[in-house]
Amino acid sequence: SLKPHTVHPGDPRFAANVDHFDRLCRTVKAMRRMTLGAIGARTTAFKTVRIDELTLQRHGITMETVDLSDVFSRMKALKDSDKALKEKAAVLKNYSNWGKTPKAAFDTIARLGVVLDGLVDEMKLDAMAVRCWIEMQRQLNISCCVLLSEMNNRGIPVACEVDCGSAVTMRALRAASGTPATCLDWNNNYGDDDNKCILFHCGPVPQAMMTGKGDVVDHAILANSVGKNCSHGCNVGRIAPGPLTYGNLITEDGKMKFYLGQGAFTADPVPADFFGCAGVAEFGDLQEVLLRVGQAGHRHHTGVTMGHFAAPVREAFEKYLGYEVMAL
């Protein structure tokens, strides 16, 4: 909140107040009216990512849906000579390291990238959640992780596994921080440290949050289901150290219920053979955080952005947008 209210303009606290208010206003503006794209149906096993469209709509968030069959049809309709396809290929080649990716998979990923960008423009989407498995692997022989990474890096919040709640949260976090956000799994312990864990996903982390370019590889987990060389597109790398703000959303009884908290990515090493894009995260009381998140019914994902901005986001949510917030 904006305290002290009476302060000399040359005082650092005045600058801090202005910064807080700016981030609060950006968050409110981003959330008061937004359009969310759900690309593909929810993966049936992931019951926790279910969301109530009517609740979203009552809070100014319109959800547009697109079937994967339409996405695949649009991909097939693209010609090799299309300017947009050539431009997308050039962007992707420069974005990550593709030495381990077959040309056919790269070309297919570029086609999907053109289609997703087209949907953003056509439907005027502010955020997106994508069904990223298992049809893409079985029918296209790709994974779309690196595309989500590149879109997030451009400031278009895109969540995995049709997790619309994470996409909405990422939109808010990105607005408050002014830098990209991502969707990560609450994952493994980190040794015996009760306040550290590994936050991870298969590769949607924007390059701005990473230590460097990623390596695009086959999906080590899904390869067990679809076979090797049928799921290239994961962007493997490591998350850069620094402060973080995290949160997520569920809809319940017509209400928008968020949790928000802060922590830090550390410089602790993640084993070289650890799959995906990962970082060690440290929290003041991780065990309490996880217990409260789980008991409140939240999903296995958390939205993350770099920096500490929970205070302006919380004030925007509670005071101006009518959301409920569990502060962690």
Amino acid at 65: T
Whether residue 4 lies inside any domain: the answer is: no
DSSP 272: T
- Average pLDDT over the chain, rounded to an integer: 97
Q: Whole-angstrom distance between the N-terminal and C-terminal Cα of the chain?
A: 17
> pLDDT-derived band of residue 182, with 50, 70 and 90 as boundaries?
very high
Q: What is the spatial distance between Cα 98 and Cα 232, in angstroms, rounded to a whole number?
A: 10
The answer as to whether 51 is a domain residue is yes
Domain tally for the chain? 1
pLDDT (tens digit per residue) in 265-303 = 999 999 999 999 999 999 999 999 999 999 999 999 999
Q: How far apart are CA 98 and CA 235, in angstroms?
A: 9
Query: Looking at the domain assignment, is residue 6 inside a domain?
Result: no
Q: What does the pLDDT read at residue 187? A: 87
Report yes or no on 2 lying in a domain: no
pTM of the model: 0.97
Closest alpha carbon to 136 in 115, 117, 165, 118: 115
Whether 316 is in a domain gets the answer: yes
Residue 2's φ and ψ, nearest 5 degrees, are -85, 80
- Band of pLDDT at residue 208, cut at 50, 70 and 90: very high
What is the spatial distance between Cα 288 and Cα 49, in angstroms, rounded to a whole number? 22
What tens digit of pLDDT does each residue of 302-319 get? 999 999 999 999 999 999
**pLDDT tens-digit readout, 87-125:** 999 999 999 999 999 999 999 999 999 999 999 999 999
Given a cut of 70, whether residue 33 has pLDDT beyond it is: yes
How confident is the model over 167-196, as a mean pLDDT?
97
Q: Is residue 1 part of a domain?
A: no
Q: Look at residue 321 and tell me whether its pLDDT is greater than 90.
A: yes
Q: State percent of the chain over pLDDT 70.
A: 100
Whose CA is closest to 1, among 22, 13, 23, 17? 17
The residues that bridge with 62 in the sheet, in sequence order, are 35
Residue 181 to residue 247: CA distance in whole angstroms: 11
pLDDT digits (tens, 9 = 90+) for 215-253: 999 999 898 889 999 999 999 999 999 999 999 999 999
Report H helices in the chain.
12-32, 53-58, 68-77, 83-95, 103-123, 135, 145-153, 164-177, 223-226, 286-295, 310-315
pLDDT of residue 328: 98
Tell whether 105 is covered by a domain. yes
Strands 301-306 and 181-190: antiparallel
Q: Does a structural domain hold residue 5?
A: no
| Domain residue limits at 295 | 12-327
- Alpha carbon distance 164, 168 (integer Å): 6
